Amino acid sequence: MDAIALLKADHKTVEQLFRKFEKTGPNAHKLKRKLVDQMVLELSIHSAIEEQVFYPAVRARSVPLLHEVLRSLEEHHVVKWLLSELDDLPPDAERFDAKVHVLMENVRTHVLEEEGTLFPEVKKAFRPQELRALGLLLENAKKTAPTHPHPLAPDTPPGNLVSGAVSAVMDLGRDALRAARRKATSKVRAVTSRGGKSPTPQPPAYEAADAASP
């Protein structure tokens, strides 16, 4: 898969998550949290590989495209701040839905600009075999990319290559800790539901609302 096809596939994946979110009901807090967690993951990885691999390659090849690259980096910066705020925000928070909708508006605008302006120019500047090689580099970068947003980290080489590697390791630990907490909570609830005497921690308000909603 060449670089343009890979990045467009990422855009499609994120758009599908947006549409699922738009179809959720007002009290579907647990589903909204799950969808936003996936948005955070997909957009964090996508932003990182563009900043580490794609944009530097475009800048090196085409000076006239520098403006487009710089604008894309600023759009990433805004999106990463929104993602960082949503990452741990409870889905029943008053401004959760508002932040998600602003996120979607920003990402959709960014995608339109990339696919309508930047990508066609990149296809002119690179030979097909070069785009395929760039696509392979993007695929490999995904394997070690951060899984959470880091809006204060550098977004251009060489700084982002170093910070990205450190952030990716930190994110692995963060994800593992979050998964362990959720697993422990599920076990406690399972024991309690079977009549055990283990104390049950109070679930977040959004989970209680989900349980009560049809």
Digit-coded pLDDT (tens) for 125-167:
999 999 999 999 999 999 999 999 887 776 677 656 545 444 5
Q: Which residue has the higher pLDDT, 32 or 202?
A: 32
pLDDT, average across residues 40-63:
95
- Residue 76's pLDDT is what? 96
How far does Cα 135 stand from its chain's mean position?
19
Average pLDDT, the chain: 84
- Residue 136's pLDDT is what? 96
Q: Confidence class of residue 169 from pLDDT cuts 50, 70 and 90? A: very low
pLDDT, average across residues 68-74:
95
Q: How many domains does the chain have?
A: 1
- Residue 27's pLDDT is what? 93
- Residue 55's pLDDT is what? 95
pLDDT, average across residues 94-100:
97
User: Does residue 69 register a pLDDT over 90?
Assistant: yes
pLDDT, average across residues 39-64:
95
Q: Confidence class of residue 94 from pLDDT cuts 50, 70 and 90? A: very high
User: Does residue 176 register a pLDDT over 70?
Assistant: no
- Residue-range definition of the domain harbouring residue 100: 3-212
